[in-house]
């Protein structure tokens, strides 16, 4: 789900209490309070990131969706492998695993694609 007011994209795989663990300026992992498993992802600054890094790469319209894994991989590429700190790489890998496991798609493209 994209939240326009906070310009963030969130996906949570299960309902329940969680804590937000900030990884870097873009990625936050949602961790289950009960068993400390990662259960969700938040990407901050998503509209700007989409316009700058993804829109030209993926020609999407209201009938097409972007796999969240593509956005996460592009975020990792924009950081650069040599700039990753050890916990950062592990966190992005956990986020990718969640997005891939649940086949998460970004579906707010009509507004985002038009730059509104």
Q: What is the residue-level pLDDT of the chain in tens, covering all 116 positions?
A: 888 888 899 999 999 999 999 999 999 999 999 999 999 999 999 888 888 888 777 765 555 578 888 889 888 888 776 667 767 888 999 999 999 999 998 876 545 555 54
3-class SS at 97? Answer: helix
**Structure confidence at residue 95 (pLDDT):** 94
- Spatial separation of the C-alpha atoms in residues 101 and 99, rounded to whole Å: 6
Nearest alpha-carbon partner for 28 in 104, 101, 91: 91
Buried b / exposed e along 22-40 (16+ C-beta atoms within 10 A): ebbebbbbbbbeeeeebbb
Domain ranges of the chain: 2-113
Nearest alpha-carbon partner for 85 in 12, 23, 20: 23
**Structure confidence at residue 113 (pLDDT):** 52
């Amino acid at each position: 789900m994209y939240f326009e007011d906070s310009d963030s994209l969130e996906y949570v795989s299960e309902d329940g209490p969680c804590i937000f663990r900030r990884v870097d300026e873009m990625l936050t992992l949602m961790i289950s309070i009960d068993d400390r498993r990662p259960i969700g992802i938040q990407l901050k600054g998503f509209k700007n990131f989409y316009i700058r890094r993804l829109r030209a790469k993926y020609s999407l319209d209201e009938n097409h969706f972007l796999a969240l894994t593509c956005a996460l991989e592009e975020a990792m590429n924009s950081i650069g492998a040599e700039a990753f700190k050890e916990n950062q790489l592990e966190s992005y890998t956990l986020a990718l695993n969640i997005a891939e496991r649940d086949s998460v798609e970004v579906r707010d493209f009509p507004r985002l694609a038009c730059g509104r």
